[in-house]
Each structure stands twice: as C-alpha cells, then as structure tokens.
Amino acid sequence: MADRAGDGTAPVVLSMGGSVLITGDEDERFLPDLAALLRKVVHDFPLVVTAGGGRVARDYIRLGRALSLTETELDELGIDVSRLNARLLAAVIGPPCPPHPPTSLAEAVREAHRSRIVVLGGTEPGHTTDGVAGMLAERLRAQRLVNATRVPGLFERDPRKDPTARRVDRLDYAGFRKMVDASVAGTAGQQFVFDRLGLESLARAKIPLRIVQGRDLPNLEHALRGEEFVGTEIR
Ligand code: UTP
C-alpha cells in the first residue's frame, strides 16, 4: 500500500495552515513560489497537501457563533473556506495537480493513488485540516507529515503571548499529547499548533511530524525532504 502514483515512493503529507497560505501580505508573490517548490519536490516523492482556512475561516466562525449557528454549521463554514484555499493553491500549482480538490478522505486516497500531487481542504465536521492531514498520512503510510504554520515550531507556551517561551526541538508523542490536551477546547475554530485527531493518527502509525514556519520556503523544503531543518520534530 505504500506505492503511490508511480515509482513506489511513500508520499509526504504537507498541512499548510490557512494563516500561512493566505495572509494578506505578499500572497501574490508567495503562492507561485510555494507552487514552484511543490512542483519541484514531487519529482522525488508524491505529495498530499491540505490547505487550512486561516483568518477568513476564523472570521466566519466568529460571526456564525455570534449568530447562534450550531457547532456543526460553524465547522461547515470552516470547511468551505479551507476548500476555497485548496482550490486556489491547486490552480496555482497547475497540472498534474487535480483542479477540483477531493472532499472526503476516501476520495483523497483514491486521488493520491492516481496523481503525484493532490491538494484538498476540509472533509467533515469535528476536526481541522491538520486532522485531515494526519488521517491521510496514516491511510497512505506517509514518510512524514510537515505542518507549515505561523510559528517556527512548537513552543513551551504561545510565543505570541510570551516572547520568552522556548522552542521544543525534539519531542515524543506522549509529551506532545500532554501539551495538546492542556490547550485545546475542541470547538470550531480551535487554535493550537496541531489537531488532536491528527496527532492520534500519527502516533498510532509512528509517522514523524515536523512543525515549521511555512513562509520560509528553503527551510520548508528541507523539512519536506527529511533533511536537517529549523523547527520541531515529534516522533
Ligand atoms: P482549519 O484547518 O483552517 O483550522 O479549519 P485552524 O487550525 O484554525 O487553521 P489554520 O492552520 O490557521 O488555517 C478551520 C475550521 O474549519 C472546521 C473546524 O471548525 C476548524 O476549526 N473544519 C476544518 C472541520 O470541521 N473539518 C475539517 O475537515 C476542516
């Protein structure tokens, strides 16, 4: 089952946070550069990319919550925004990336067997696109999952609130689980460096997770390729 779209190399999964993908700052320069990097690395291994919903998803969820929408309805708003971002990224990458992002795990697995690169957003309520990435990594027996996010790794405390917080460079899944448990509320629009469900998939499948600052493309490339990189590795 590790064979993927061609030469038998197991895929790498990239979870691209929405708040890194579309920031409102230099996106028209960043997206083509990211697409060029992804087109380059797929010569060496297949890629499955999930796109998050970022600030727009959070704005919709905040507004929907103020309007008393249910948790499921809020999740669905987040899913739709992440799919919009996935569609934009897929279009910028161009062929061989399928232009219409899969909408379920099963469909994403099927596409990953057909295409060297697949981009998708959310699938169903109850998790984030990091969760989708973790579940897909388990199903596809990925080499690793790279989580490209706003901060350059996992910090002992939120570095935006506490600038003295130090980065944790290496950690095992038991230690990571404790950190996630201590900080995730489990409601729509939840904000932590990685999704609880995704973490359980990765821990079960013994797939390493690398957390990097997603706008630093040379470092992102090192992380994707399994080379030395700046950030956090959990295994
Ligand atoms: P994101 O994946 O964008 O979450 O999904 P996030 O962790 O806030 O993201 P980034 O990394 O900054 O982009 C946004 C919301 O959409 C719903 C959840 O409510 C999630 O918090 N969602 C997303 C789902 O319910 N299911 C999915 O598969 C994906």
Atom 8 in ligand 1: which residue has the minimum CA distance? Answer: 189
pLDDT tens digit at each of 235 positions of the chain: 444 566 789 999 999 999 999 999 999 999 999 999 999 999 999 999 999 999 999 999 999 999 999 999 999 999 999 999 999 999 999 999 999 999 999 999 999 999 999 999 999 999 999 999 999 999 999 999 999 999 999 998 888 888 899 999 999 999 999 888 777 655 665 556 788 889 999 999 999 999 999 999 999 999 999 999 999 999 9
Q: Which residues contact 110 (CB under 8 A, 6 or more apart)?
A: 102
Question: Among the atoms of ligand 1, which is closest to the Cα of residue 77?
Answer: 16
User: Mutual orientation of helices 196-205 and 173-181 as an angle, nearest 10°?
Assistant: 170
How many angstroms does the Cα of residue 26 sit away from the middle of ligand 1? 23
Burial letters 83-122, b for 16+ CB under 10 A, else e: bbbbbbbbebbeeebbeebbbebeebbebbbebbbbbbbb
Q: All domains of the chain, ordered by start, with CATH?
A: 12-234 (3.40.1160.10)
Distance 7 CA to ligand 1 centre (A): 32
Sign of the dihedral through C-alpha 160, 122, 96, 32: negative
Atom 5 (ligand 1): residue with closest C-alpha? 128
Distance 34 CA to ligand 1 centre (A): 21
Q: Compute the distance between CA of residue 230 and CA of residue 232 in angstroms, rounded to an integer.
A: 7
- Nearest alpha carbon, ligand 1 atom 14: 78
Phi, psi of 109 (to 5 degrees): -65, -45
Q: Which of 129, 132, 191 to mutate to test the pocket of ligand 1 (most atoms within 8 A of CB)?
A: 129
- CB under 8 A, 24+ apart: contacts of 25-32: 30/215, 31/88, 31/89, 31/92, 32/92
Distance 198 CA to ligand 1 centre (A): 12
Q: pTM of the predicted model, to two decimals? A: 0.94
